[in-house]
Amino acid sequence: MVHDLVCGMEIKDTSKAVSLIYEGKTYYFCTDLCKIQFEQNPEKYIKKNNENGNDHSHHKH
């Protein structure tokens, strides 16, 4: 199953979705708006997606 990392929406038809290749991986978005938001801060959305609520040990500032 593929999800739009920006808004969290499930992408049911990837052939109609907006796609973006970032660091060799393809990401799908429901609209260009979500894609643009992702492009502006891709790390934020990728990290948010990978950590799954386990983001307490990352703040070292």
Please identify, among the stretches 1-9, 17-25, 39-47, 51-59, the one whose residues bind Zn ion according to the rule CB under 5 A: 1-9
Please identify, among the stretches 4-12, 14-22, 35-43, 45-53, the one whose residues bind Zn ion according to the rule CB under 5 A: 4-12
Token digits of residue 15: 């052939």
Each residue 6-25 as x (binds Zn ion by CB under 5 A) or -, in order, gives xx-x----------------
Which residue in 34, 37, 38, 45 binds Zn ion (CB under 5 A)? 34
Confirm if 2 and 28 have CB atoms less than 8 A apart: yes
Token digits of residue 10: 């499930």
Place of tokens 């801060």: 41
Helix intervals (H) in 1-59: 32-40, 42-51
CB of 18 to Zn ion, least distance (A): 9
